[in-house]
Structure 1
Amino acid sequence: MKKTGDNSRRDFLKKSGATLAVGALFPTIWVKKSYASTKDVVLGHNAHRYRVVEGWGVLDAGKNPVNDCHEMVEDTKGRLLLLTNETRNNVLIYDKSGKLLESWGTTYPGGHGLTLSQEGGEEFLYITDTDRNQVIKTDLKGKELYKFDYPKETGEYSHSGEFKPTETAVNPANGDIYVADGYGLNFVTQYNHKGEYIRHFGGKGDTDGTFDCCHGVLVDTRDRKNPTLLITDRSHMRLKRFTLDGKYLATIPVPGSFICRPVLKGNHIYAAVYRSTSQDYPNSGYITVLDEKDKVVSTPGGTEPIYTKGTLQEQRKDRSFLGFMHPHDVCVDADENIYVPQWASKKTYPLKLERV
């Protein structure tokens, strides 16, 4: 490492269920500038339903362009930080109304993963760059503090080009850092809070303990006594659960869904699905929500989750909504609204889904 309100919501849904159903069946769809969107459409299922906020976050592309909008996080001030691989402004910082507050970053051509960490009362960002073959720690103003190069200590890598990190996660209890090499050799490498190598596990394969695109990683703290790692096995359409020291525990199948990274909010896991297998590749993404029992309870922009004899049936995109092309991440704010950055989606800005 180199230094450098549930009850009121339910009442609302009961009273307005018929109206919402009509809106979902007969949406008005049009194209606005460079993206397709839907007016007054409600997406999702069961208690997790969302209204699309038309035009949220759309900026002057001449001044603040985006390329792939990869990931977004919320800081303690309620600001929304978006990472794009557009080097004219890699990080765009919004308020919740969609107003641009500031921007920074011109040196992340492969800006891909964005993780917010709170350390000693301060907030920091971990940016993974698949072109630079590095993980970069910065402050919220963009000052680079540390760089993690490819993990030579593992003995798995012969050169930096084999390391293409897609995501990081930080254990809030002790500051341990987990780096997922989803586009490289598919190892997850664990460091302590000082950036010192602890261990690695995984690698590319089809067994319980290996991955085919470990794209995202999360420290799941819902069980405070026994936190675990939740890791994407994207090409196998699964999430996998591991102990904090890398021992395999369980697999959560999500048939039809190529999940980018799991995001924890409250008792639920939220995730962007960048494509579905059962349809043509282009523009087949949606969002998925899992409960504390790892059961899919809502699929905004996708088909209703159905379980048969305890097994989730294959899901696909709901073609009545055209706003989702290739969702790459979700950011869930304090009001449980969802912001959706998208990859390979005609350089569009994130979508906002307002919970109803």
Structure 2
Amino acid sequence: MIFSQAGDLHRSFTVPIREGHQLALSTDNGEECLWIADPGRKNLKSSGYDPVPGERGGQVLCVSLTGQPKKTISTPEHPVYEHGNFAPTSMTVFDTGSGGNGDVWVADGYGESIVHRMDSAGNLIGSINGEEGDAGRFDCPHGVWVDYRKADPELYVADRANRRVQVYDLEGVYKRVFGEEVLTSPSAFAVDGQYMIVAELRARLAVFDLDDSFVTYIGENESISRIERNSPDDIPGWPNNLDDNGNPVRSRVLQTGKFNSPHGIATDNDGNIYSGEWLIGGRYTKLVKSR
């Protein structure tokens, strides 16, 4: 579904996926390409959701902005998948339109907690798992993003279950880690000028400057963000609520101006922020940049 900045639906098209988990744009031979991460797990009955019929199977799909499939990345030829599952949650492209080489970085966040580097044709070049540096192995690398704010672009990895972000160069060499004191659930990235915005699944956005120093939170819901997930003080059934029979239902405590479960994030050329939240029925929020 393609919307205007005002939220009006322009057009829509169907794509051969099981679940659209994250989107990214790139330029392919002068044409914009829409990348879709599909973990392929919605045929599993979990968290009370009804399963989608069919076989399980993750993929990354590239389509034109009219919905024409152009490329598909299936399970990489990597030893970890001899007994493991490929369930990609995110991808980012070192875009040729921004001086890159077209490499596609794919985060297998819901599968084997590994990030793969593919060439533009989808062939595996290499993989990283967090053990390349001092920080340690990834645990749900949920989001990946190429940062072009500096002269030398870098790869950011949202190491969600470890509550931190790991940074690499575009050859897969570890550089640094940050955020462990201020992040609880980093999931996705966006940028506004010199500032990077991190979607935190636990009810807030976190802003960092060019040096990865924390600046502020946006839309924080402290009744969620400051409470340990699944602790006795957590909202039962979060990100949803539970009915009298213990079944998940859409949250009854959503608040305007406060987040519940930001799962994806994007910005536009005017610096406005768009966030999609993970809960029954979903919720999309636009934050208009003040002048």
Length-normalised TM-score, structure 1: 0.63
> Which of these residues, 47, 66, 72, is aligned with residue 141 of structure 1?
66
Contact 2:62 2:71 in 1 (8 A): yes
> Which of these residues, 251, 262, 268, is aligned with residue 189 of structure 2?
262
Taking the aligned partners of 1:350 and 1:320, their CA distance within structure 2 comes to 12
Taking the aligned partners of 1:207 and 1:327, their CA distance within structure 2 comes to 29
The one-letter code sitting in structure 1 at the alignment partner of 2:169 is T
Q: How does 1:135-284 map to 2 (within 5 A)?
A: 135-152=60-77, 154-158=78-82, 162-172=85-95, 173-202=100-129, 208-224=135-151, 226-254=152-180, 255-275=182-202
CA shift in 2, pair 1:125/1:134, >3 Å: same
What secondary structure does 1:190 align onto?
A: strand
Instruction: Give per-residue Cα distances to partners, 1:39-89, cap 9 Å, x unaligned.
Output: xxxxxxxxxxxxxxxxxxxxxxxxxxxxxxxxxxxxxxxxxxxxxxxxxxx
Taking the aligned partners of 2:210 and 2:226, their CA distance within structure 1 comes to 23
Indicate yes or no: 2:25 matched with 1:116.
Answer: yes
Taking the aligned partners of 1:137 and 1:321, their CA distance within structure 2 comes to 34
The residue that corresponds to 2:13 in the other structure is 104
The one-letter code sitting in structure 2 at the alignment partner of 1:141 is T
Instruction: Give per-residue Cα distances to partners, 1:244-283, cap 9 Å, x unaligned.
Output: 12221111124342011122332111121111xxxxxxxx
Indicate yes or no: 2:252 matched with 1:326.
Answer: no
Instruction: Give per-residue Cα distances to partners, 1:182-234, cap 9 Å, x unaligned.
Output: 1111111111122222111116999624200101111112222x221111110
CA shift in 2, pair 1:209/1:169, >3 Å: farther
Q: How does 1:300-311 map to 2 (within 5 A)?
A: 300-302=218-220
Taking the aligned partners of 2:179 and 2:17, their CA distance within structure 1 comes to 33
Higher-RCO chain (CA-CA 8 Å, sequence separation at least 6) = 1
The one-letter code sitting in structure 1 at the alignment partner of 2:216 is S
**Structure 1 stretches of 4+ moved >4 Å:** 203-207, 319-323
Q: Taking every aligned residue pair, what percent have the same amino acid on both sides? A: 33
Contact 1:180 1:187 in 2 (8 A): yes
The residue that corresponds to 2:274 in the other structure is 339
The residue that corresponds to 2:288 in the other structure is 354
The residue that corresponds to 2:43 in the other structure is none
RMSD in angstroms over aligned alpha carbons? 2.4
Q: How does 1:75-114 map to 2 (within 5 A)?
A: 92-105=1-14, 107-114=16-23
CA shift in 2, pair 1:205/1:182, >3 Å: farther
Taking the aligned partners of 1:269 and 1:251, their CA distance within structure 2 comes to 15
Contact 1:209 1:248 in 2 (8 A): no
Contact 1:331 1:339 in 2 (8 A): yes
Taking the aligned partners of 1:110 and 1:239, their CA distance within structure 2 comes to 25
Length-normalised TM-score, structure 2: 0.76
Instruction: Give per-residue Cα distances to partners, 1:156-181, cap 9 Å, x unaligned.
Output: 2116x610000111112110111110
Tell me, which stretches of 5 or more residues in structure 2 are unaligned? Answer: 41-56, 228-253
Taking the aligned partners of 2:281 and 2:134, their CA distance within structure 1 comes to 37
Name the count of aligned residue pairs.
241
CA shift in 2, pair 1:294/1:203, >3 Å: closer
The one-letter code sitting in structure 2 at the alignment partner of 1:109 is R
Indicate yes or no: 2:34 matched with 1:125.
Answer: yes
Q: Which has the larger radius of gyration?
A: 1
The residue that corresponds to 2:50 in the other structure is none
What's the offset of the Cα at 1:331? 1.3
What secondary structure does 2:210 align onto?
A: coil
CA shift in 2, pair 1:204/1:321, >3 Å: farther
> Which of these residues, 197, 211, 214, is aligned with residue 293 of structure 1?
211
CA shift in 2, pair 1:104/1:323, >3 Å: farther
What's the offset of the Cα at 1:316? 3.6
Taking the aligned partners of 2:136 and 2:162, their CA distance within structure 1 comes to 13
